[in-house]
Chain A
Amino acid sequence: MRPLFIAVGWAVLFILLIPEAALAAAEPAALDTGNTAFILICSALVMLMTPGLAMFYGGMVRSKNVLSILMQCLAVMALVSVQWVLLGYTLSFGPDHSLLIGGLDFLGLKGVGMEPLAGSAGIPQAAFAGFQLMFAMITAALISGAVAERMRFSAFVVFTILWTTLVYDPLAHWVWGGGWMARLGIMDFAGGTVVHISSGVSGLVAALVLGKRLGKDQETIRPHHLPMTMLGAGLLWFGWFGFNAGSALAADGVAAQAFLVTNLCAAAGIFSWVGAEWLHHGKPTLFGAASGAIAGLVCITPAAGFVSPMAAVIMGFLVGPICYLAVSKVKDQFGYDDSLDAFGIHGIGGTLGALLTGVFASRSVNPAGFDGLLAGNPEQFMLQVLGVVATYLFAGLVTYLILTVIGRFTELRVTAAEEEFGLDQSLHGEDAYVDTDLSGISQAS
């Protein structure tokens, strides 16, 4: 606990010392067409990550539940898009209140338009709002992996709206909207804490609240379509360039650096995950390679604009075995059923990434960032620890409260009969593989 106290002490000191003037909005910049084009393209890339995630997850569930997980991801795109316009953007990026939440000035995206965003590299605020929307979308969608194959769709819809409003929007404000984490100097380039830890931890809590899938203790539930998972991993990797490079918010050297290290850490993640399982069980698996790529991408996310290529390779080599251990051993030890390892990969990978950002960050890479441990700044590491701990507590607690409240009004989980039957038929009344599923035909008639 002692290091935590020191970090909190530093935090208070920082808040007191930073002069208000430094936080005042800069002069509005002239519109920059290059930067604007870049951010619009990156927004489209990040958007593609959610359907990509749907494929990644879809291949991992059983064939009777594949449509339900795809539907959850698509529903999140619809729900969060509308929520973002109405409320999400202004809570995240509206004028700061007490370093905790954005004000309601941009309610309904009022006044968010073609004018360049103050303090930006000449990009219209509409482009910034669109780019950030895609992040809110994928984050909420990530949670579906933890509750897959058993959560009721209606409960999931209500959960998504409440979660993105009460967990994602405040966190995005804390880190990127001028809230307390930004003020302290906690570094999160593209969403290690905001996106990955928050969704991973919330997924873990949701998995614990919902309980295990039926039959989980009797058998290992196997993925039904790993080629689909591979397709999803490819789409995620592709979209991640927009996620990380775009987080530079300009088509500049930092974006190029972030682009490069993103690819490196994904590649090193494959090496290390496959290496670990090859040593452990004697065979290199495709599923392991796809998982390692995603773990590497998660890990580099908070660090992307701050670390060197060699640091990215080291991060990738570390994240594979650690996430592999989390999903193959730790999960069994504790006995929770995080169906598709939202916590094991995004929670654990995000935590490692956030901490290693505090180790490898260097101002020689990005002068706008801070130095980390290896550059002689151990305080930055303590700040990263503080950011991680705060995100765990906040996301975990609020998720628990949301689920408890929803659970008062409706069942969170499908009935045993519906679960056995498969969510595709029992919740959505459709079948993914009609031609091959004889049992489906007889059951339906």
Chain B
Amino acid sequence: MKKIEAVIRPTKLEELKKVLNDMGVRGLTVYNVMGRGLQQEIKHYYRGQEVSIDLFAKVKVEIICPDHWQESIVNGIIATCQTGAIGDGKIFIYPVEEVIRISTGESGNAAL
């Protein structure tokens, strides 16, 4: 099993949820996060006092899936969230040792 973490533009979340749902991926966890990659900092001014904004609001989507789903999910995320500009975000993939559904005690792919 794999854990796919995608940091994306907040405006892309609804579309991505729909795409994942259509693919049969129902379970996901979503966070509001702040972060930065290659984006330039922005300067704001409050009564002329400078504030530099170098962390940007993003959404992080976590999906745990069977190994063979990884490629299609990643392709789905890229197809949905890519604008080609800096600030589209990143995808991180990790191996997952075990998954257990608390309500039934099922484990492995059956728990996904």
Where the two chains meet, the residues of A that have a C-beta atom closer than 8 Å to any C-beta of B are 219-220, 222-223, 277, 280-281, 283, 285, 287-288, 291, 324, 327-329, 332, 341
Contact A324 B45 (CB under 8 A): no
Q: Name the CB-closest residue of B to A281.
A: B45
B residues near A327, Cβ cutoff 8 Å: 47-49
B residues near A291, Cβ cutoff 8 Å: 47
B residues near A219, Cβ cutoff 8 Å: 51
Contact B48 A222 (CB under 8 A): no
CA distance A223 to B47 in the complex (A): 10
Question: What's the minimum C-beta distance from B103 to chain A, rounded to whole angstroms?
Answer: 27
CA distance A341 to B48 in the complex (A): 12
Contact B48 A280 (CB under 8 A): yes
Is there a chain A Cβ closer than 8 Å to B94's Cβ?
no
Given contacts A277-B45, A287-B46, could you give 13 more A-B pairs where the C-beta distance is less than 8 Å?
A: A219-B51, A220-B50, A222-B46, A222-B51, A277-B48, A281-B43, A281-B45, A281-B48, A283-B45, A324-B48, A327-B47, A328-B45, A341-B47
A residues near B50, Cβ cutoff 8 Å: 220
B57-72 vs A, CB cutoff 8 Å, 1 = contact: the mask equals: 0000000000000000
Q: Name the CB-closest residue of B to A345.
A: B47
- Interface of B: prevailing SS: strand
Total count of chain B residues near the partner, CB < 8 A: 8
Contact B51 A328 (CB under 8 A): no
A residues near B47, Cβ cutoff 8 Å: 287-288, 291, 324, 327-328, 341
B residues near A283, Cβ cutoff 8 Å: 45
- Interface of A: prevailing SS: helix
Question: What's the minimum C-beta distance from A324 to chain B, rounded to whole angstroms?
Answer: 6
CA distance A332 to B45 in the complex (A): 14
Question: What's the minimum C-beta distance from A236 to chain B, rounded to whole angstroms?
Answer: 16
- Considering residues B43, B46, B50, B51, which has the most beta carbons from chain A within 10 angstroms of its beta carbon? B46
Contact B45 A223 (CB under 8 A): no
- Considering residues A220, A285, A287, A324, which has the most beta carbons from chain B within 10 angstroms of its beta carbon? A220
Can you list 17 A-B contacts (CB < 8 A)?
Answer: A219-B51, A220-B46, A220-B50, A222-B46, A277-B45, A277-B48, A280-B48, A281-B43, A285-B45, A288-B47, A291-B47, A324-B47, A327-B48, A327-B49, A329-B48, A332-B49, A341-B47
B residues near A277, Cβ cutoff 8 Å: 45, 48
CA distance A285 to B48 in the complex (A): 10
B residues near A329, Cβ cutoff 8 Å: 48
CA distance A219 to B46 in the complex (A): 12
CA distance A241 to B47 in the complex (A): 25
CA distance A341 to B49 in the complex (A): 12
A residues near B49, Cβ cutoff 8 Å: 220, 327-328, 332
Question: What's the minimum C-beta distance from B52 to chain A, rounded to whole angstroms?
Answer: 9
Q: Name the CB-closest residue of B to A341.
A: B47
A residues near B48, Cβ cutoff 8 Å: 277, 280-281, 324, 327-329
CA distance A329 to B47 in the complex (A): 10
A residues near B45, Cβ cutoff 8 Å: 277, 281, 283, 285, 328
Question: What's the minimum C-beta distance from A320 to chain B, rounded to whole angstroms?
Answer: 12
B77-93 vs A, CB cutoff 8 Å, 1 = contact: the mask equals: 00000000000000000
Q: Name the CB-closest residue of B to A340.
A: B47
CA distance A280 to B45 in the complex (A): 10
Question: What's the minimum C-beta distance from A344 to chain B, rounded to whole angstroms?
Answer: 8
CA distance A288 to B51 in the complex (A): 15
Q: Name the CB-closest residue of B to A329.
A: B48
CA distance A328 to B49 in the complex (A): 6
CA distance A94 to B10 in the complex (A): 65
B10-24 vs A, CB cutoff 8 Å, 1 = contact: the mask equals: 000000000000000
CA distance A277 to B48 in the complex (A): 7
B residues near A222, Cβ cutoff 8 Å: 46, 51
Across the A-B interface, the 6 shortest Cβ-Cβ residue pairs: A328-B48, A220-B51, A220-B49, A281-B45, A327-B47, A222-B46
A residues near B43, Cβ cutoff 8 Å: 281
CA distance A277 to B45 in the complex (A): 9
CA distance A219 to B50 in the complex (A): 9
Q: Name the CB-closest residue of B to A280.
A: B48
B36-55 vs A, CB cutoff 8 Å, 1 = contact: the mask equals: 00000001011111110000
Question: What's the minimum C-beta distance from B41 to chain A, rounded to whole angstroms?
Answer: 13
CA distance A267 to B54 in the complex (A): 35
- Considering residues B43, B46, B48, B51, which has the most beta carbons from chain A within 10 angstroms of its beta carbon? B48
